[in-house]
Amino acid sequence: MSLPAPESETTDVTAAPAPPHSHAVQSFFKHLFSINLDKSRPRIRLIALCFVCLFATVNVRLIYLGFEPDSQSIRRAAVEALSGARPDILDRNGEVLATDVKVMSVFAEPRRIIDKDEATELLTAVLPDVNARELRERLGSRKGFVWVKRGITPKQQQEVYHLGLPGVGFLPENKRVYPNGPIAAHVLGFANLDNVGIAGIEKYIDGQGLADLHNAGFNLTPDGLKPVQLSLDLRLTHGLRDEIAKGVEKYRAKAGGGAILDVNTGEVVALASLPDFDPNNPADALDPLHINRLAVGVYEMGSTFKSISIAMALELNKVTLRSTVDARSSLRFGRFTIHDFHATHRILTVPEVFTHSSNIGTARMALMVGVEGHKAFLKRMGQLDRLRTELPENAEPLVPKRWSELNTMTIAFGQGLNVAPLQALMAVGALVNGGMMIKPTFLKRSEEESQKDAVRVVRPEVSETMRYLLRLNAEIGSAKLANIPGYYIGGKTGTADKIIHGHYSKDKVFTTFMAIAPADKPKYLMLVLFDEPQALPQDGGYHTAAYNAGSVTGRVIERLGPMFGLPPRFEPPVQPFPLLAKLGYGMANVPAATTHGGH
Amino acid sequence: MIRFLNIFAIAALIGSAVYAYTIKYETIYRAEQINKLKHEIQAERDGIGVLRAEWAHLARPERIQELATKYLDLQPLSLNQIVAASAIPERSVRVDTIGRKLETLGLAEPTNTPRGKTAPSATTTPGRVQ
């Protein structure tokens, strides 16, 4: 309307007779869409100015946001500080050994707290176990996010909430719990407050890539993680631990331990070491008394090592079951003399050397093999190298630096070489399972899997001979206390005098007992050990292994036997040792070897 | 004509705007619902986790052993309580005691019915062996 001139020009002759109203509307639209550069320049400027203002506002806002610590970044800091989820740990039957639970933790944003002294006072009043001075320091720091207390109870959460402090909030966190307490604690290890594995299988899990995932910023949820299934059986472990605890108390031993190994798969189905700790309270675990005596402690295994020495002599064809060894007098070597604990003063057959646990006989057999052969065999049996299982805690065996004939003689009967009991268990397992060395594992696996990296260390005949000797020892030798009927047990005792101030002590001993069940086709190998057990009057004042470790093993078999899944047998098997029978050796009940022993 | 088109265009504009906003708010509502459910699921999962841990804690062998010694008269399984399947005696022969009683009473004998025909099953023994 304000521009009448172009209107009259552009209006057609045909449009002239149209009513004035419609004419006006039409001309309005025409002007609206007409392009006249002269006239639109100021409009374009105006629009440009508008956009400049708009973008300037956006930029200012962006800069402002960049400087201001927004809640988003604090959230991120919190996620980083949050403890990550860990997979559940189950036993071989699926029972829970370790799991995550959600707990609430109190955090503070120091920048948003107005009166820090008041906040400290109020918070410590509600959470009495928080150190006031430390908390004040933390609140005074320039950090955007600090923890006040991790893992509070719902009641405490309510109380803190009612304080109504600005800048104090809650975050749900994963907390590791071990519902079974000290059972299998040495295998499980523990995780710290940040849910990082510190020891045992927990550390192993972190080593398998979980820690990397956490560090890469993945917020893992427990349901996304596959549970880790251990080879341990919760019930067997409890039974073993309970019996060993009773034994430690009864014999007033300094420490005790035990393990059950599946000799065909190398799985450790039970492990206990006392004194132990509760992984829910990790501070306990640092006590050096609480080490895993099966894997971290190294000991002179005593007579249980004789199994290895005799197997060596048999494997290298130095002796057969019918061979005889002179044990008439003590064995002198330089200024050392080797005695027998149960001296027989006669010539012994190989089975008699084993059942009488003759030091002299075993030393002589080792001498037949020689120093180099002995070393090579022990190396093959894994006794000279550190045994590495899934557990990060392990120990290097104490091998003599100079290995003379004397060393060979003493090591043959279990003195002078300190190994981890688990290591000795592995070797004896290989001797009885048919001759295959299988590395012990704490993870569940099948027999096929375990056979993959199994190495043959002795011939099947030697393995069968060892089973025969162990069975013989259970019937007529020192393992009688563990010979529980029905399970066809074989066993060997071991008593090692402890070295106190560089000398072998007479009254401080380390006793071990190894048992196989059943002896004709072993499935389980048990080890029970006691550190410094005391003699009991009813045992005739003896503190040798048969009376403590042996009798406890008997108790363990009696109690756990029904849980082993091995059918009890009432009559001894008809042909337990077929290969030996072919060679003319009878059943262990009537030891054929002893009949021609005394010549 | 143009006027009609304009009105139509405006109506379509308003309509599409209303439709778009409806969809938008619906989406927001649904997304909120999804989030809420996700939170609920997570809360339930956490709850299950806590309960599982609690169950494992309550059913730990140490505690069960304590309770069992306190409240149960059970003893550890001993060897003489286990027998082989072959040692179980054979099932005894089932005796039809009622039938035998009837027999001794002479009631099992065929009765002479007025039909006069003797039943062929007269010699059936009631004491059957199964």
Q: List the single best residue of B77, B83, B86 to mutate versus A (max A Cβ within 10 A).
A: B77
Q: Taking CB atoms and an 8 Å cutoff, what residues of chain A touch B49?
A: 99-102, 222
CA of A467 vs chain B CAs: smallest distance (Å):
23
Query: What is the DSSP pairing of strand A503-517 with strand A524-531?
Result: antiparallel
Distance from CA of B56 to the nearest CA of A (A): 6
**For the whole model, what pTM was predicted?**
0.76
Superfamily of domain A78-229: Penicillin-binding protein 2a (Domain 2) (3.90.1310.10)
Is the pLDDT at B38 greater than 90? The verdict is yes
Say if the Cβ atoms of A242 and B79 lie within 8 Å. Answer: no
- Which residues does chain B have within 8 Å of residue A486's beta carbon, measured at their own beta carbons? 79, 82
- Could you report how far apart the first and last alpha carbons of chain A are, in Å? 142
Cβ–Cβ gap B76/A558 under 8 Å: yes
- Determine the distance in angstroms separating the CA of A235 from the nearest CA of chain B, rounded to an integer: 7
Helix-helix angle B61-71:A234-250, to 10 degrees: 70
**Tell me, what's the pLDDT at A212?**
67
Question: Cβ of B56 and A99 within 8 Å?
Answer: yes
pLDDT of A15: 44
Q: Nearest C-alpha of chain B: how many angstroms from A597?
A: 36
Q: For residues A513 and A493, what is the distance between their CA atoms, to the nearest angstrom?
A: 5
CA-to-CA dists, residue A18 to A21, A281, A501, B63, angstroms: 8, 98, 128, 103
CB atoms within 10 A of CB A168: 20
pLDDT in tens, chain A (599 residues): 344 444 444 444 444 444 566 777 788 777 766 666 666 788 889 999 999 999 999 999 999 888 776 555 566 666 655 667 788 899 999 899 998 888 888 888 888 888 888 888 888 888 888 888 888 888 888 888 888 888 888 888 888 989 888 888 888 888 888 999 899 999 999 888 888 888 899 999 888 876 666 666 665 555 567 888 999 999 999 999 999 999 999 999 999 999 999 999 999 999 999 889 998 887 877 888 888 899 988 999 888 889 999 999 999 988 888 888 888 888 887 778 888 877 778 888 888 888 888 889 999 999 999 999 999 999 999 999 999 888 988 889 998 888 888 889 889 988 889 999 999 999 999 999 989 999 999 999 888 888 888 889 999 989 999 999 999 898 888 888 888 888 888 999 888 888 877 778 777 889 999 999 888 889 999 999 999 998 888 877 788 888 888 889 998 988 888 888 887 777 777 778 887 777 766 544 444 443 333 33
| A96 lies within 8 A of chain B by CB | yes
Query: Is A365:A353 a contact under the CB 8 Å cutoff?
Result: yes
What's the confidence (pLDDT) of residue A16?
46
Among the partner residues A180, A484, A485, nearest to B60 by beta-carbon distance: A180
Q: What are the φ/ψ torsions at residue A62 (nearest 5 degrees)?
A: -60, -45
Distance CA A309, CA B86 (A): 43
Residue of chain A nearest B6, judged by CA positions: A29
By the 8 A CB rule, do A517 and A564 touch? yes
DSSP string, A43-61: HHHHHHHHHHHHHHHHHHH
* Residue listed under structure tokens 């057999």: A365
Distance between CA atoms of residues A256 and A529, nearest Å? 6
**Residue A556 at interface with chain B, using a CB cutoff of 8 Å:** no
Judged against a pLDDT cut of 50, whether residue B130 lies above it is answered with no
Q: Is A67 or B24 the better-scoring residue by pLDDT? A: B24
Fold designation for A235-278+288-595: Beta-lactamase (3.40.710)
**Quick one: closest CA in A to B82, which residue?**
A568
Q: Return the pLDDT at A586.
A: 57
Distance from CA of A104 to the nearest CA of B (A): 12
CA neighbours closer than 13 Å in the CB half-sphere of residue A301:
30
Q: Does the annotation mark A505 as catalytic?
A: no
Write out the two tokens for A543. 């503190």
Compute the Cα dihedral for A482, A307, A356, A499 and give only its sign: negative
Give A239's contacts in chain B (Cβ within 8 Å): 61
Which residue of B lies nearest to A486 if distances are taken between CA atoms?
B79
- Residues in chain B within 8 Å Cβ distance of A99: 49, 52-53, 56
Q: Is A233 on the interface with B (CB under 8 A)?
A: no
Instruction: Give the domain ranges of chain A.
Output: 4-65, 78-229, 235-278+288-595
Task: Check residue A58 and give its pLDDT.
Answer: 95
Query: Could you tell me if A278 lies within 8 Å of chain B, comparing CB atoms?
Result: no
Q: Hey, are the CB atoms on B61 and A238 less than 8 Å from each other?
A: yes
Q: Residue A479 has what pLDDT? A: 83
Which phi and psi angles does A55 have, rounded to 5°?
-65, -35
The 3-class SS string of A178-230 reads: CCCCCCCHHHHCEECCCCCEEEHHHHHHHHHHHHHHHHCCCCCCHHHCCCEEE
**B84 Cα distance to chain centroid:** 32
Contact A562 B65 (CB under 8 A): no
**Cα(A160)–Cα(A62) distance, rounded to whole angstroms?**
36
Residue A234: which of B46, B61, B78 has the nearest Cβ?
A: B61
Q: Which residues of B touch A181 (CB under 8 A)?
A: 60, 62
Can you say whether residue A91 is alpha, beta or left, with left for phi > 0 and alpha for psi between -120 and 50 degrees?
Answer: beta
For B64, how many CA atoms within 13 A lie in the half-sphere containing its CB?
13
Distance CA A60, CA A54 (A): 10
Helices of type H across chain B: 2-58, 61-71, 97-105
**Domain map (residue ranges) of chain B:** 1-83
Q: Under 8 Å CB-to-CB from A227, ≥6 apart: which residues?
A: A87, A88, A89, A90
User: Is A361 within 8 Å of A341 (Cβ atoms)?
Assistant: no
Catalytic position from the list A105, A231, A273, A303: A303
